[in-house]
Amino acid sequence: MTSLTGDTDVFSTASFGASPKASVMFVATRQDDLPGIYGEAHRRAILAVLDELAAEGWTLSLRRVFDPEAPNAPRALATGFTHSHDIAGVFEAPDLESALAGTVRLEKAGWARAFRTEWLMGVKEFAPVMGKGALTDHGWSFLALWEWNDQWCEATPAERTEYDFECDIAFKGDLALGVNIAGRHRLDWSHGWHHLGAWEIDGPDTADAAIRGHEEVADFKFTTSRHIVGRLEPLAELIAPRHA
């Protein structure tokens, strides 16, 4: 039991069995500005590593977190339209050792040439939660990073529990908007951010409507957050070289 907070109506502690227990998030910015930095051979090498990771039990597509029958072809968020970075994404890995080693394998295969990347390693805390219309392919994703602020840290356990259940009202609103929530990933042991929430959504407007609900219940009185929204696209296309 490693969850930092208890279960709520929406969230329950994940029981994993054979499913992945760790997660790897990345936020990456293209840097292959000149010919010769990153080419097709590097791209093929990265895709070969991704194939190996899939064979080793990684989940490379958010869709598959909610639907085990969905293909495991890697997908990531195209974020350049509204962020300073170009792509972001979340994979799930069998354990922390393979998660960290996997990032190194990808970097060495050529990822380090193509991107400047922030990698975030997580531990899965809560089970995925299905919203209304859960099994449709939503096409977009919303990633929420947050840290509990000094006020949360100063609050009593009872005040924190009360806050969790206030936030639950907003999370129920998210589910009503058709959002699927991939549990909660704990990042604090290896990063400045404490948690990641990864959602499937049908577009940026849904993220905006959902966050308004979180503002109404004063979610952000206890947190500092960073939100990322992007369209889900095949990673093989997102890592195509800029120069032949």
Partner 1 sequence: MTQSVWIHYSRPRPHWYLLDEAQKLTLTEAWQAVRDKASAGGAQYNGRFHIRGQHDFQEVEIWKFASTTEAFEHWQALCAARYNEFFAFSNNIGLETGT
What residues line the site for partner 1 (CB under 8 A)?
A: 2, 4, 95-97, 99-101, 104, 121, 123, 150, 153-154, 188-192
Contact 180, 66 (CB under 8 A): yes
Least Å distance between CB 124 and partner 1? 12
Which residue, 72 or 190, has its beta carbon nearer to partner 1? 190
CA angle (78 as vertex; 75, 83 as ends), nearest 5 = 145
Least Å distance between CB 177 and partner 1? 32
DSSP H or E run through 101: helix 96-106
Contact 65, 182 (CB under 8 A): yes
Least Å distance between CB 80 and partner 1? 27
Least Å distance between CB 45 and partner 1? 19
Which residue, 33 or 154, has its beta carbon nearer to partner 1? 154
DSSP string, 4-41: SS---SS--B---TTS--EEEEEEEEE---STTSS-HH
Q: How far is CA 79 from CA 47, 168, 187, 233, in A?
A: 20, 28, 21, 10
Which residue, 104 or 240, has its beta carbon nearer to partner 1? 104
What DSSP designation does 59 have?
B
Contact 115, 29 (CB under 8 A): yes
Which residue, 153 or 240, has its beta carbon nearer to partner 1? 153
Which residue, 153 or 176, has its beta carbon nearer to partner 1? 153
Least Å distance between CB 155 and partner 1? 9
Distance CA 42, CA 27 (A): 19
